[in-house]
Amino acid sequence: MGENNIKGVILHGGHGTRLRPLTHTGPKQLIPVANKPMSQYVLEDLRDSGIEEIAIIVGDILPEKVKNYYRDGREFGIKTTYIHQEQPGGIAQAVNLAENFVGDSPFIVYLGDNLLKGSIAKFVKEFRKSNYAAMVLLCEVENPQKFGVAEFGKNGKLVKLIEKPKKPPSSYALTGIYFLKPIIFKMIRALKPSWRGELEITEALQGLIDAGHKVGYKFVTGWWKDTGTVEDILEANRLVLDDLKEGIEGIVEEKPSIQGRVAIGKETLVERGALIRGPVIIGKHTTIGKQVYIGPYTSIGNNVKIERGEIENSIIMDDCHVEIDGKITGSLVGTGTTLTTNQKSPKGYRLVVGENSRITL
């Protein structure tokens, strides 16, 4: 086994029921955060940690969109393999589908909708050097009962992993990043479905611990975000924009239009009279009209036309058209949507809009 031969597995399936209607038209992992699909952050983190071969496990919601985006991986500096998961049956079931791809290599499973501040590169190094059968990344959370939670014994040893406990033994949750050796497949084969009807990765890892294998853990010190809801995605957008590198590649007709950290893509026009208050990211070929205010923590995609209205703390995806009298806040607006008002309306709107919608407010 080559020293550098750690492989990557990105889980890109699931139904994303809490994000409908956006997930009727594609997998949730392609929803953009700061103008980049969530799973691209994952793929780039694996790549930048020295992982060259990555399997993407796709589900049954338009998997061709994932394949059209990442293709053979060359554009992203890696080599991709696609594995189809017929029905969501738990993380362990998805991991099991990668057995042939993994062979006898150690590998990293990374949930495609998990975002992490910083990189996993240092953890990859630790795992390479270790004799662990598995290693997990833990993060302190305020609501551990919503996650898989770690229980520690004497001398800080990891003794138990419990899925969504009513009385959590600690405040440390399992992030969706698992460092594994192929012995995990033996543990998965021994699993029975949980009360959720799923094969739980926590139980497979528990199997390793119970059989006397070494399971290590490390703590994530920056932020970690598991993006299951609209609020989670908007928070992830805010967290990523907090680290935004500003840069104006388009045309800004007058300097006072831009306040704070703002990134604007090529061939985008900000008309005289508009006001953009960062952190804000705007894609390419977009027009921000003279009667427009874009407030902090907003991401606006490519080929968007915003002629009138106020927008803040929102994600507006590609190919949208906005011309409203009023304010959009805390909203997620899918690709190809038109938002217009037909009467004066001072109130703010809060929207979750799927692709190719047409809304008159």
Q: For each of the chain's 361 residues, which pLDDT tens digit applies? A: 344 589 999 999 987 888 887 877 889 999 999 999 999 999 999 999 999 999 999 998 899 999 999 999 999 999 999 999 988 888 999 999 999 999 999 999 999 999 999 899 999 999 999 999 999 999 999 999 999 999 999 889 999 999 899 999 999 999 999 999 999 999 999 999 888 888 999 999 999 999 999 999 999 988 999 888 899 999 999 999 999 999 999 999 999 999 999 999 999 999 999 999 999 999 999 999 999 999 999 999 999 999 999 999 999 999 999 999 999 999 999 999 999 987 655 567 777 787 777 777 7
Where among 219, 241, 263 does a domain terminate? Answer: 241
Domain that holds residue 306: 247-360
**Residues 64 and 208 both lie in one domain:** yes
Q: Cβ distance 246 to 263 under 8 Å?
A: yes
Q: What pLDDT is recorded for position 347?
A: 65
**Residues 12 and 102 both lie in one domain:** yes
Q: Cβ distance 177 to 120 under 8 Å?
A: yes
Q: With respect to residue 38, please indicate whether it lies within any of the assigned structural domains.
A: yes
Q: With respect to residue 235, please indicate whether it lies within any of the assigned structural domains.
A: yes
Q: Which residues pair with 162 in a beta bridge?
A: 149
Where among 241, 262, 295 does a domain terminate? Answer: 241
Only one residue has tokens 């150690």, namely 106
List Cα–Cα distances, 108 to 8, 49, 96, 221, 268, in angstroms: 5, 11, 13, 19, 39
**Residues 190 and 66 both lie in one domain:** yes
**Residues 99 and 227 both lie in one domain:** yes
Distance CA 98, CA 8 (A): 10
Q: With respect to residue 1, please indicate whether it lies within any of the assigned structural domains.
A: no
Q: With respect to residue 115, please indicate whether it lies within any of the assigned structural domains.
A: yes
**Residues 225 and 267 both lie in one domain:** no
**Residues 202 and 281 both lie in one domain:** no
Q: With respect to residue 153, please indicate whether it lies within any of the assigned structural domains.
A: yes
Q: With respect to residue 2, please indicate whether it lies within any of the assigned structural domains.
A: no
Question: Is the whole model's pTM more than 0.85, yes or no?
Answer: yes
Where among 212, 241, 270 does a domain terminate? Answer: 241
Tokens of residue 352, six digits: 């979750």
Query: Across the chain, which distance is largest between two alpha carbons, in Å?
Result: 69
**Residues 105 and 74 both lie in one domain:** yes
**Residues 231 and 323 both lie in one domain:** no
**Residues 184 and 73 both lie in one domain:** yes
Tokens of residue 223, six digits: 């932020």
Q: With respect to residue 273, please indicate whether it lies within any of the assigned structural domains.
A: yes
Closest CA to 82 of 93, 61, 98, 105: 98
> Taking the mean position of all CA atoms in its chain, how far away is CA 151?
26
**Residues 176 and 46 both lie in one domain:** yes
**Residues 50 and 124 both lie in one domain:** yes
Distance CA 145, CA 63 (A): 31
Closest CA to 304 of 283, 324, 289, 319: 319
- What pairing do the DSSP bridges indicate for beta strands 172-180 and 134-140? antiparallel
Distance CA 64, CA 71 (A): 10
Distance CA 109, CA 10 (A): 6
Q: What are phi and psi of 234, to 5 degrees?
A: -65, -35
**Residues 157 and 301 both lie in one domain:** no
- What pairing do the DSSP bridges indicate for beta strands 352-353 and 332-333? parallel
Distance CA 213, CA 267 (A): 56
DSSP 141-158: -S-GGGSEEEEE-GGG-E
Q: With respect to residue 343, please indicate whether it lies within any of the assigned structural domains.
A: yes
| DSSP helix/strand/coil, 44 | helix
List Cα–Cα distances, 261 to 242, 278, 330, in angstroms: 9, 5, 20
Task: CATH number of the domain at 307, please.
Answer: 2.160.10
Alpha helices per DSSP H over the chain = 38-48, 63-70, 91-96, 99-102, 121-129, 183-189, 201-210, 230-241
Which one-letter amino acid corresponds to residue 114?
N
Tokens of residue 290, six digits: 């003279």
Distance CA 347, CA 332 (A): 18
Distance CA 191, CA 265 (A): 49
> Taking the mean position of all CA atoms in its chain, how far away is CA 200?
21
Task: CATH number of the domain at 36, please.
Answer: 3.90.550.10
Q: How many domains does the chain have?
A: 2
